[in-house]
Chains A and B, each alone.
Chain A
């Protein structure tokens, strides 16, 4: 098993498996966030439910962190290996058919890493705006709705989020399809369908996630 995981193909399996789980998290996170379009109580209640999970919440957080760290470290390792595999690059390089997202996974990936750090500082730890910690609902719980509206009301913050969603979309465009090939789930009959899964997920995630700051900025959500 160790030999498997440390081989080039094993590392790809690690990327694929952690990737799938992170995609599932991303989708779940997105669905949760979309409750912002309901009345404010909905998302606040959802947030409170999550907060009240206690130990389980930390378990999930720990799990996510683990997946994330493994995905990032393996990704960087693979990238560095690939760089080393061609010490002298072409004077005039060209691409035949590889898509832009597929060639920029390391860039979008690292951007997402930076973004996630910011995202946690922003909405989880409230480091960027400590006043978020004092937003409370009448029941005395965290007023997530207000926090989002205030947070995204900041033009700059919204711009960062939208830019990050472009990176996320691109990352998923390749990543959410690529794992089929890596895991060897491949059948000439279904390859056409498999090929569009990534792009479809990418577009959905990008559109829905971006809609939130846009709605705040356009005062659709108040």
Chain B
């Protein structure tokens, strides 16, 4: 596997401009001859499909939900970053770039990050033009807030539903193209394989979730925008349907998987209440702007939160990180919470939680201001927990939330399979080892609206149209493979539910490959996972048949892929002998217990290449060079 990042030459600030000029173009009249398959309809997929159709390409778009409007991008609450500097507080493209590289703990590619920062401003312009009702000041101009550890106010937001509004914006643009016939939308369709012919991605195999029909789709290029794989942990803040299947199938067909162990654990989620729980609910990190995080100083504190006197509370983030305090980056905040709970100071029935207290903010600003800012979050919290956060401190606990790892892509967002492009959370490119708050929406839309429309033309222009059809033997072969696998799942005829396998896998991953890992835990997991997978194929219970709407079958296919993918994740975590970004290797810490990055051995992207069933994947490395931002140890003290 050759990893050529295709980074343009020259100073980072001029690269994208230069690259845009250097890339090939396609004559407007010829664009309609090319067919592009877009898998996923979230911020990245939806915006890409809409934009490519506007440009004149034939686009087919696929999603597993009943409508493209439901992709999980919709759940992002907090906001979207852009280097507009409307607040005149010293922001700039360069600063956003700098913050993102640093926030990612120096494990992202500088060139990609700079481009992301550069196009961030266009995103806001585009979204406003689409009629997205961003929050505004009384002046009528756009409002901003500071978010997730940033020292400038660069986050644009729409109530507490920014992800929803941005997604609906992309969805409306997509709807316009569907209405015009420029995009053919396939809902309730799941991509189950990718077809590579003569070394190029030429199509996908999908299963119609309603009829069970296995279908081939031919294209001149394929775009995966299928999101992240946090559901490998079973409990995460992702939607129930989020899965790794599309990305993993691509991996098995030759796409390199980069940094799979990079996952982000979000600090402000509602703690788990019981075993039956199907997902964790995230509350916007913006809560940390006004809430103060604490645990009791004494182990086994039995008093109600409000009865614990001030001097017996440990506002541990403010104590440990005085300049950032409660706004310390996600990984630090999450790990500190876990440490406190591991030390027996956790609160709530399970002891797995810390307080997020609004008492002082309410005293300072009044309940109305707090209600204005976080009203919907408070309501949501109360609905789930039956506790009133205006009077009783919230309880929060970290939960898997976002995966920085993903399919490896070059500067053009193309994977190691020519023609297969990967956007948004599904790729690995921009966030390094940790993503800043309000940057996921930015990346999804940057990739879809402003990057792929240029770079895909460059790829397409280099290849002649060849009239490929689904009759090609490779398509037939892939279809047969998908059908066989489905049949195999249905014929296991075991006794244990698919759900329970997923739960067990999630437990293994959370304990050993979550926020904190160590060699022993990872080595153990690498034994446990194959055993569990073995049991799955012997004993899973999958009811019904293929030719119907079969949710168990759907689930079983996804869990089967998680069971394979989890192993790659643990392998990657094991190989990464350092603590950096969102993850903490217990063997690598300073004397004070802070993360110890290992720039000598680990300043690279780890890329895994599939080498066949039951064979260890091969590891490749893309070295990372930091020419603009000096490699420094992150300090949020």
Query: Is any CB of A less than 8 Å from a CB of B in the complex?
Result: no
A residues adjacent to B (C-beta < 8 A): none
B residues adjacent to A (C-beta < 8 A): none
